[in-house]
Amino acid sequence: MVEGSHPAEASGITLALGGGGARGLAHAGVLATLADAGIPVRAVVGTSIGAEIGAFYCVGLGPDRIEDMAREMDWMATFRLFWPSLEGGALTSGRNIEAYLRERLGTGTFEGCDLPFRAVATDMWTGQQVVLDTGNLVEGVRASIALPGLIKPFKVDGRLLGDGGLVNPLPVDVARRLFGGPVVAVAVHPGARGPEERADEPDPFRESEEESAGPALIANLRRAVQITQAQLVRLRLEASPPDLTLKPVVPGMSTLEFYRGGEALEAGRQAAMENLDRIRALAEPA
């Protein structure tokens, strides 16, 4: 598909998958439910964990395989991924994460994806949004997930890139501009649900006791980023609202609790199932 072209008569939906750490495993549950229901996806634009899950899907791994990968993430596997090294001003260098991505994405490229895919990152020198659409998928995803303080920024084509959530945590506007509507957004970041929606989670930015026991500097930085992202999403959605927003509910799940993948997957499946009729109606050609 040529960038910017999006025929109105095409069937299917465009997905905007947001950031949110381990909560983003819910994206895999959404994708699996859409596949089970036979609802076509035209393109995917992802930020941070949304870029990771989106890349797995668009390169052709399949929803079942992605769900299996999420369920395989136990406590020890999570610790190995985020092995502390304190390099580059972050908790981890990201080397183990790169190896994990390479095992699953191989030498895949944006151009070679089965479905059109874009990843959103942030230029750490200029503060500008960067939409990655060419070259190596591993590099693109690695850049998009480089959350400040947690994962070291990553250079792509001479640019130092960081987590896309710094500028666009839920890339609805990018998805609509590049691929057209209908756009279904999946919001998993803390604060995605308003106060009236989260009686079960009155303080969405509070990390679990286990994670809060870590370095106070990292915990405070992460919380500050999450609060800022929540406000940024609200402003961006006012300017470019999706046709539908899914908000999987995983109460109390913190950034690095990837070993709770089963809970996130079920939350994603439930959010998609509850809105399946609306999604199916959106996917029908105009």
Catalytic residues: 48, 163
Spatial separation of the C-alpha atoms in residues 215 and 72, rounded to whole Å:
27
CA 121 to chain CA centroid, nearest Å:
11
Spatial separation of the C-alpha atoms in residues 243 and 279, rounded to whole Å:
9
Burial of 29 (0-12, 13-18, 19+ CB in 10 A): buried
Q: Which two tokens stand for residue 107?
A: 């030498």
In 94-225, which ranges are E strands? 117-123, 129-132, 154-156, 159-163, 183-186
Read off the amino acid at residue 102.
R
Residues 6+ positions from 16 with CB-CB distance below 8 Å:
45, 46, 50, 170, 171, 172, 174, 175, 183, 184, 185, 186, 242
